[in-house]
Structure formats: C-alpha cells, structure tokens
Amino acid sequence: MRVLVSDIGGTNARFAMAELGRGERLLRDSVREYPAAGFASAADAARHFLDELGERADAAVFAVAGRVRREEARITNHPWQIRAPDIGSALGTPRVALINDFAAQAMAISRLGADDVVAVGAAGWPGFDMDAAQTYAVIGPGTGLGVGGLLVRNGRCFALETEGGHAGFAPSRPRDMRVLECLMRRFGRVSCERLVSGPGLANLYAAVCEIEGVAARDWSPAQINAHAAGGDPRCARAVELFCAAFGSMAGDLVLTLGAWDGVFLAGGLVPKLLGALQSDSFRAAFEAKGRFAAAVAEVPALAVVHACSGLLGAAAHAAETYDSALAV
C-alpha cells in the first residue's frame, strides 16, 4: 500500500510517500516542501505533489497544525480548512485520516533512533521500548507551539492530541512578570504560544526593547537569533527568555502528563536554536518545579533533529491505521 503522508503547518506543507507492508517505509527521495500560501487548499497542494512525482496514493494521512474534529480541521495560523472528503476526492481514495501535527510528532517517538535526538541536559534516554509501559511528552515551536503526548501500553502506541500551546503562560521569575505585562498590553490574554514560537521570539524581542525604553528593530525571528549569536544584547536576552519559557513549559508538561520517561522537543525552531537550548536557561527552568524539582531533574529532554519527524510520525500512524487492510 502506498500512502501519501503530509505535515502541514502555518507556513509550509510537507509531503512524502510511504510504503506499508512489513512495517512502514518513508521514501526519503519523495519528500517535498511547499509554501502553504502558494495553494488554494491542502487538496490542491496534495494533488500537485502527486502530479509532480507521477505517483498514486492508496491512502493518506494528513498531520495538521490545528484541532481535528471528526473529518475536518482548520489550520490555526493559516486560512486553510481541511476536509477528509475533499482530500479523498483529490487523491481518488476514500482512505484519508486527519490527525493533529503533534500527534504525528508523538507517534514519531517510536521510530526515532539515537542519531535522531540530542540530549538537552545530563539526564540520559535509554531508548524506546515497545514492551514497557511508558509515557512521553512532546512540545515544539514553529509558526505556533505544538503539544502532545505518547502512551505506550501493552505493545501499542496511543498519541494524545492537544492544543496545549494555547494554555496560559505562567511566569516564574520577576523578569518574566515584566515581559508578561508588556504582552498583556498587546494581546490581552497571553498564551504559551505568544512566547515560544517563531512569532513568539519576535514578541519577546519587542518586549525587551519596550522594557529598556528603546525602539525595536523590524527583525524576523531568524534575524533575532543571528543577531543574538553576533552579540546584540537585546536579541540575546530575547533568546534567553525564549529558552527559559520553553524549558518551564516543557517541565510543566512533564508534571501534567506524568511524562517521566522523557519529553521530546520538536518543531522547526529546535535545530536552529539547539546551541541556545543547551545553555543553562532551558534546563534550569525545566527543573525548577519546587517539591518535584529532584524528580523532574531525572527526566530526559531530547531535541529532535530528524529532518522529517512529522512525516515519519504520519507514516507510523498510517501503519497503525491501515496495516490491517493489507491482510484483506
């Protein structure tokens, strides 16, 4: 069975083909990425992908950055509304599954190898074990902030779909309070995504400039990160605030889900900020959990550096969903 798998965010749409049989196989040469703004719909983008490769699809799994309800999903940070029947019509198959993008990131955990992750902090990860009961969290910034979880029970994987990135931000330091006040004046309610995402880094830079009484430059998140590495003090403070907020949220997620086996840091910004995340700010905030600080200190935090983890997870979901059809 040849399955089209897709990872659709607020900015880009990724596609690939996977083969199901004795386990799934993601066809790396088939991976394509398109700007979402270049297509009227996800169905149009999927059809373009198949036509470009001269491929056909027996089934499809779309991992989308938004809430999935029944057979529909709306991208949180993009105007696309995705309907499974529309995808099926475009591809010529009734087998279409829609899942949250961080459900796909969660499913990818079961397929990641040692070279696909980098430890953030001293706590080590013994590796994935399908035969043991395990609970993992996954969180990651891109255009937005994705949050999910993975339960491993009785030899099966169960992904948890959430919109945890839209939970309210909880400051834990005096400087965080000042940043929160700046963001509240701008947005009213301040979600975690307002800080830990690509736009969130720009929000933090603007807040730092406001606190220091200087005009913010019109810099993109990539420029802010580059200027931080080049020694700009305000950009460096913005990146430090980003890493601390990210660490605090990741630690809170461990407590919320009981994810004592590990938290995976996914999303497009993680590889770009890996050096900053490996500094003290992330891990200190991650472990600063009061009476549970010692317990959280033992939890591994693992940065995902696999280039196509969302597609890998979508293929894993396809295997769980469609493998039984191969026996028919």
As annotated, the binding site for ATP includes 6-11
Q: What is the residue whose two structure tokens read 């309210």?
A: 168
Element holding 301 (H helix, E strand): strand 301-304
User: Which amino acid is it at 217?
Assistant: R
Greatest CA separation found in the chain?
Answer: 68
Distance CA 281, CA 55 (A): 46
Distance CA 39, CA 87 (A): 14
Tokens of 113: 């190898």
Q: Which residues are annotated as a binding site?
A: 6-11
> Do strands 145-153 and 134-141 pair parallel, antiparallel, or not at all (unpaired)?
antiparallel
Instruction: Assess contact for 95 and 322: CB atoms under 8 A.
Output: yes
Report angle CA 103, 12, 70 to the nearest 5 degrees: 40
Element holding 226 (H helix, E strand): helix 221-229
Distance CA 277, CA 268 (A): 14
